[in-house]
Amino acid sequence: MKALAPGFLIAMPQLQDSNFHKSVVLMVEHGPHGSMGLVINREADVTYADLANDQDFDVPPTRAGKHISVGGPVEPYRGFVLHDSTRVTERAEVLPGLFLSVTSDSLAPLLADPEVNVRFCLGYSGWGAGQIEAELAIGSWLFTEASAKTVLHVEPGQIWEQTIKSMGVDPAMLVTTGGMN
């Protein structure tokens, strides 16, 4: 079995599932029992200021108006923070320079620090044993190496096209018809 985590899954245009239309998923776990990832390019209707007000902490003005991400359809109220801070103790390294924190104790200090680059995701994407391999085999997804820079520094609306182009593929040449679910 090819290791898909860490890596990016890029949804092909013919993938009809509205949860993943032109999505880029950062794969966090992949193994014989299933896979888990976070969509990094779908914005929620919620801003960081909304989140901070709801959780009773502050965010810097440079972050306040930006939107958090929809990490996927599973457990949509569970939060995941992708970041580049080594100052919080609760963190798991996903890629060199990219960490994942999942506790509420880490949330406030990460989002309040203007020096930390973050992408906060609500929910996650999950696949059962062998499911993502089957979807890759029928062409629903492409796989490529993940980049911390893409996760933390590229605007969500540009991630899909930029990731496709980084693979040497012209997004305009991709087939947009078909009925893959």
Task: Express each pLDDT in 1-41 by its tens digit.
Answer: 568 999 999 999 888 888 999 999 999 999 999 999 999 99
Q: Rounded distance, CA 95 to CA 119, Å?
A: 14
In this model, does residue 176 exceed pLDDT 80?
no
| Fold (CATH) for 7-173 | VC0467-like (3.40.1740)
CB 114 within 8 A of CB 83: no
For the entire predicted model, the pTM comes to: 0.92
Buried residues in 64-86 as b, exposed as e (16+ CB within 10 A): bebbbbbbbeeeeeebbbbbbbe
Q: Is the pLDDT of residue 172 over 70?
A: yes
Can you give the C-alpha Rg of the chain in angstroms?
Answer: 16
Are 66 and 111 within 8 A, CB to CB? no
pLDDT digit string (tens) for 147-166? 999 999 999 999 999 999 99
Mean predicted confidence (pLDDT) in 163-180: 76
Give bridge partners of residue 144 from the DSSP assignment. Answer: 8
